[in-house]
Amino acid sequence: MKNLDLNGFIIAVGALVRTKDGKFVFVRQKYLPSLWESPGGGVYRRETIVEAMVREVKEETGLDSHVCKLIRVWISSQEYKILSMKFLVEATGGKPMPMDPDGDAIEAKAFERKAVPIEKLRYQDDKEYLEKMAE
């Protein structure tokens, strides 16, 4: 499918996924297997942001979910112009395992908050959010 383009911006979503028992789910991608990251990706044309978030979580983690709240919005203009939104998402069912055999995710794992390998998280905003929760 083709990504949604809004006046030259690609729209992307990311999820900080929390399970019902308070664990956080991160994925390893085949293009950067040494780091863990929050699941996410592009919003397709004719897809709402919430639909994209639920789809990306399912594809990359195998979990059913619902969006709880918006955590962060930012614009990246390095290689591409990207409008990104990060959401806190609650897992509602399933087991952590990538669902798309042709996708980029190679592993999905749920961590206790204190056991999240902070030094191996790809995104700074995930680190900051988890550290705020520890306070």
- The strand ranges marked E within 1-135 are 5-6, 9-18, 24-29, 32-37, 40-42, 64-76, 82-93, 105-111
Q: What is the pTM of this model?
A: 0.90
Would you give the distance in Å from CA 121 to the centre of its chain? 12
Confidence label for 1 from pLDDT (cuts 50, 70 and 90): low
- Give 100's pLDDT tier (boundaries 50, 70, 90): confident
pLDDT at 87: 97
Going from N- to C-terminal start, the domains of the chain cover 5-134
Over residues 17-68, the pLDDT tens digits come to: 999 999 999 999 999 999 999 999 999 999 999 999 999 999 999 999 999 9
Which two structure tokens, joined as six digits, stand for 32?
């950067």
**79 pLDDT more than 80:** no
Which CATH code fits 5-134? 3.90.79.10
